[in-house]
Amino acid sequence: MVHRVVTLSALCVTSSLLLTIALLIKLDDRGPILFKQMRVGKDQRAFQVLKFRTMALGGVTRIGELLRQTGLDELPQLWNILSGEMAFVGPRPLTGKDIIRLGWDQPEALKRLSVLPGVAGAAQLLRVCDAQQALECDLKYAQEKSISGDIKILLRSFLVPFRGKGPFR
């Protein structure tokens, strides 16, 4: 319930920004506004993740570069949170192909799917992060999930554009 209230509030607060970004994407190259892709979520349930489209013809668009740098391309995932498919914090949702490619389709690795995937995650805060480190972060998060941990990850995520990735002091 708290997620829904916070998400609805965030959608209201960012509605002008969402509309502005949508308009800029449309003016930039007239392609679709949203990028949609099937991902694997909690308990291995498939869902369609939403993001602002940042690429066209194999390259990053002008507006797409800014959206990626600021993380604003992730804003449509508020709809995924509202629908209960995602949370603000959790392991990043992957495609089924990526799970297999990484070897994360083994029983131990699949424990990362015992929690909702998130827009922000601990692994994304590491300055250098390989697949094994990311898996360890995700498994630790799933095992130790807490409100205080979520708040720390959210605060660090908001600071990344200003301070970069790395240890939180």
pLDDT for res 136: 94
Residue 109 has pLDDT above 60, yes or no: yes
pLDDT of residue 165: 61
Among 22-31, 52-61, 127-136, the range scoring the smallest mean pLDDT is: 127-136
Instruction: Give pTM, 2 decimals.
Output: 0.89
Residue 169 has pLDDT above 80, yes or no: no
pLDDT of residue 162: 66
Contact 48, 37 (CB under 8 A): yes
Token pair of 80, please? Answer: 């995924």
What residue segments make up the domains of the chain, in order of their start? 2-163
Phi-psi region of 85 (alpha: psi -120 to 50; beta: other; left: phi over 0): alpha
Q: Which two tokens stand for residue 55?
A: 């690429």
pLDDT band for position 20 (cuts 50, 70, 90): very high
Residue 59 φ/ψ, nearest 5 degrees: -130, 165
Report the C-alpha gap between 117 and 152 in whole angstroms. 17
Using DSSP, state whether 111 is helix, strand or coil.
Answer: helix
- pLDDT for position 28: 87
List CB contacts of 117: < 8 A, sequence separation 6 or more: 39, 41, 42, 85, 86, 87, 90, 91, 92, 93
Task: Please give the residue that has the higher pLDDT: either 167 or 19.
Answer: 19
Residue-wise pLDDT tens digits, 51-104: 999 999 889 999 999 999 888 999 999 999 999 999 999 999 999 999 999 999
The average pLDDT across 165-169 equals 54
Beta bridge partners of 40: 46, 94
Contact yes or no for 129/123 (Cβ under 8 A): yes
Query: Mean pLDDT for the chain?
Result: 91
Higher pLDDT, 124 or 168: 124
Higher pLDDT, 11 or 30: 11
CB 61, CB 28: distance < 8 Å: yes
